[in-house]
Every structure is written in C-alpha cells, then in structure tokens.
Amino acid sequence: MSPLLVVGLCAGWAEQAAADTVWLNNGDRLTGTVRYLSDGKLAIETAYAGTVTLDWNVVSTLASNNPVNVENKKTGEHYQVRLSSSDPGYVWVERNEREEKVSVKRIDEFMKAKVRTDQLSWTGNIDAGMKVKKASTKTDDYSFSLNTKLAQGKWRHDIGATYNREQENEDVNTDNYSLRYAFDYLFREQFFWQTRATYKRDWVEDLSRQALIGTGPGYQLWDNELGAFSVSILGGAFGYGYSDGREEDHFGASVRWSYQRYLLGKSVMLYSNGDVGHSLDDDGVFTLDAEVGLRYTLTSWSTLHLGYHRNLVSGTPDTLNEGTFSTGLGVKW
C-alpha cells in the first residue's frame, strides 16, 4: 500500500462503536471517540473530559475498533481499512487481509464521518454588530443575522434571517431585512432535492422587494467533522417590487452553493454561501447574492466574525449593486 504516503481518514458508519484508543509519547492513554485530525490537531471525545484536543506530534499510536475509509489524495481512490496500534510512531493498516505498518507522520488528516439517524440535530449561530459614532455627525450602524439548520434522517432544513440599518444624523443610508427557508431531501448518499424560498425588503433602494422560489437537484461534495460543501441547481421564479409600486415577475434558474471549512484545529471557520441566477426570458435579469467570511471561536459558545455580503441585480428597470462589510460578536450552538 505504498500509495498511503498522503492519506485522509474518515471513521466508518458503525454506530455502536467500541472506544477508540490513543497512546501518547509520554505513555499516557486516552479512550473515547476520535473526531478528527486537522492542521496538526487531533480531537478525541471522551466521557470524562469532553472533547480533548492534542498536538498530533505527541501521539505515539492509535487504534479504532471500526473500519475506516481511507482516501488516497493523489489518485482520489477510497479504501476501507482497519487500524490497530503498533510500535511507537506507527499504526497497522489492514486492507483486504493484508497489513502494512505505516508511520503516523504519513497521516495528514482523518475524521469521523457523520451518521444519519432519526435523532434531531440542531445547529446554528447568531451574529450581531453595532457601531455608534459621535463626531461632527452621529452615525448608528446595526447588523444582525441568524443561521440555523435542523437535520433528521433524510431531511434537512435551513432557516435564516438578516437585518441591517445605518443612519447618519437624520439620513438613513441602509435599512433592510431578508428571510430564507430551504429544505432538502437526501434520496441517495450524496444526492438531494432542494426547495428554497427567499424574501428581501428594502426601505432605501428603489428596488424595494425581492422574492425567489425554486426547486431542483443538489449534490453534496462532502459533509464531515471539518465542514461541508454542497451545490444545487434550482428552477423557479423571481419577483421584484419597486418603491413606486411597480412589480414584475420572471421565470429563471439559479446555482446555489453552501461551503463551510474549519481551520486551525476548528478554531476558525471559513464560510461562503450564495447563489447566481439568470432569467429565462428576453429581459436577461442577472442576480448575485453571496457572502464570504471568517468566524473565530472565542469560547465553546461565543464567536467573532468578519464577513462581506454582495447583492447584485441587473437587467431590471432599477439596477441594485450593494456590498456590505460586517463584524461583531456572536453565539453558536
């Protein structure tokens, strides 16, 4: 198994797993469930101390009582193997009744794969920012965002809301909110069907209302301890309203993405979400609604975020092109 020079490991799908074991260079031993190895940090979830994070260079060997999936990053191939402890600095990798002694230094990354169950999973975060400046002018700047996801079995629900307001003296420069709801049904391991609806309301821009409803297939590139990445193609309708009372509707299609990746031992998360759409009529309406940012973990429940959001609508009577930077504190669960 010489291709195992660079590998990534994903824990198997067995639910009733015996404890994994990690031996350290100083002779200590930890038992529990190994969650991930990333950026030189190994995390093991224990019953007596919660999740413990270790430097990978202090690990002597480890063992898992369940099969794991091994990826060869050079060829993209996947193998199902079994890991068992060996001499200090090595681990036994068993595949097809063949065993090879592999140095732990040749292992870059591994993680426990998510297991779909009928148990409800609820995750999310709330970010808030506020800036009040008093000088020759008084400026008030507020931002708020809610993102939450619920998963149970083959169903996933994504709910979100934002609010932004900026006022300078008596002049309101920004005043808007948005709502979204989407649900996915996973009909195969990585394939799902998504239905999504969004609504935006703005009291400053001439394009004062935006609505989108769409449905279509999606593909989950990965979903594990260190993040997730999915892409979906939706067909549906765009609706727009203007400050003078005009309204218009278009049939169209959009490509939606959702990306999250943990870095530096899960202390930092890089995220990007958005969609690109185009009408299917002669008007040629183009839309871009995307965000990108970093979220830094301060404690087990608090975060600091820095993000940028871009909202672009062209091909309509009133073009919208706005970008918003945001920073502030948040909570997660």
d(CA 160, CA 138): 30
Predicted confidence (pLDDT) per residue in 72-94, tens digit: 666 666 677 777 888 898 988 88
pLDDT, position 3: 41
Q: 190 or 49: whose pLDDT is higher? A: 190
CA torsion 16→228→256→155, rounded to 10°? 20
Q: What is the radius of gyration, based on Cα positions, of the chain?
A: 24
Q: Flag whether pLDDT at 61 surpasses 80.
A: yes
* Arithmetic mean of pLDDT, 5-15: 40
For the CA atoms of 119, 114, 329, 264, the dihedral, rounded to the nearest 10 degrees, stands at 160
Q: CA angle, corner 52, sides to 58 and 68, nearest 5?
A: 75
Task: Look at residue 1 in the predicted model and tell me its pLDDT.
Answer: 43
More confident residue, 68 or 49: 49
* pLDDT over 70 (residue 130): yes
The pLDDT of residue 183 is: 96
- Token couple for 18: 């015996």
Q: What percent of the chain has pLDDT over 90?
A: 52
More confident residue, 140 or 196: 196
pLDDT at 195 over 50: yes
* CATH architecture entry for 121-332: Beta Barrel (2.40)
Do the strands 50-55 and 59-63 form a parallel or antiparallel pair, or are they unpaired?
Answer: unpaired
Pairing of strands 107-112, 7-11: parallel
Quick: pLDDT tens for 213-229: 999 999 999 888 788 99
Three-state DSSP state, 105 = helix
Average pLDDT, the chain: 86
Structure tokens at 82: 């079994």
Domain boundaries, the chain: 20-112, 121-332
